[in-house]
Amino acid sequence: MEKYTLIGGKLGHSLSPQIHDILFRLRGREAAYSLTELTEDGLSVHFGELKELAGFNVTIPHKMRVMHFMDELDRTAGLYGAVNCVANKGGRLIGYNTDCDGFLESVDAMGAKLSGKVLLIGCGGVGRMIAIASALRGAYLDIQILESDRDYAFSVVGEIEKQAPGAKARLITAEDEHSGHYDLLVNATPVGMFPKVDACPVSDEVIARSDAVFDVIYNPLETQLIKKARALGKPSENGMAMLVWQAVSAHRIWNGDEYTREEIREVIGTVSQLI
């Protein structure tokens, strides 16, 4: 039986084992997926054990440090400067980054237009990667930030321009004038996450001027942002779709397995019931 795991700091609330177990069963694979909590020092101490696995996923705080242990880095790891998926190919460990695969697949599945005008709320962590991935798809980006984050946000814009030469991206704040239509509105901040579930990152007016909405949050499954978008009949999706599609990308890397959108929709529904 092949063995896989997720390594990270605190993993008590992770849904990864349930998601991966379902995906393995769908393709008739006998495999086990576990959680492995490691301190930063523990990564080097236990890395020999990880090399015995068929593959593993990586989350905070190891995504950057694990890169130094790889025999090879996929172009995606270099693009986003982090590794979250590792495949053991004949004893060689190859590091990938599938963080944005989940976002891109989710957006495609909901029929949203990523090559148009996109309003991205926040650009830290996953927001940074979403910004780069969107620019590579040809998006015209408005990135809404807090004034206190402007210096960091400028560095993100520099990364975008480096990875996607000619990309169009500008920084705005909630107080700035940014009227007009958006093909897609993306929330990449914790605003609206449990327990502060009554918060919404943008005004009702901005939601009304957006054709589709994506929220990286999946607890709650329906944030105020998602509720308001759906009340207006707009296509919308939450972070659970992103989480599941990201797992699908890992299975493609590990075993070449593919899944239909109908299958993934059922997986999303099943795992969502665990929240």
Catalytic residues: 63
Containing 161, the helix (H) or strand (E) segment is helix 150-163
- Amino acid letter at 11? L
Q: How many CB atoms lie under 10 A from the CB of residue 147?
A: 10
Biggest distance spanned by C-alpha atoms of the chain:
57
β-pair type (85-89, 92-96): antiparallel
Rounded CA-CA distance 117/142 in Å is: 8
Q: Where are the alpha helices (DSSP H) in 59-144?
A: 75-80, 99-109, 126-136
Rounded CA-CA distance 42/33 in Å is: 20
| β partners of residue 3 | 32
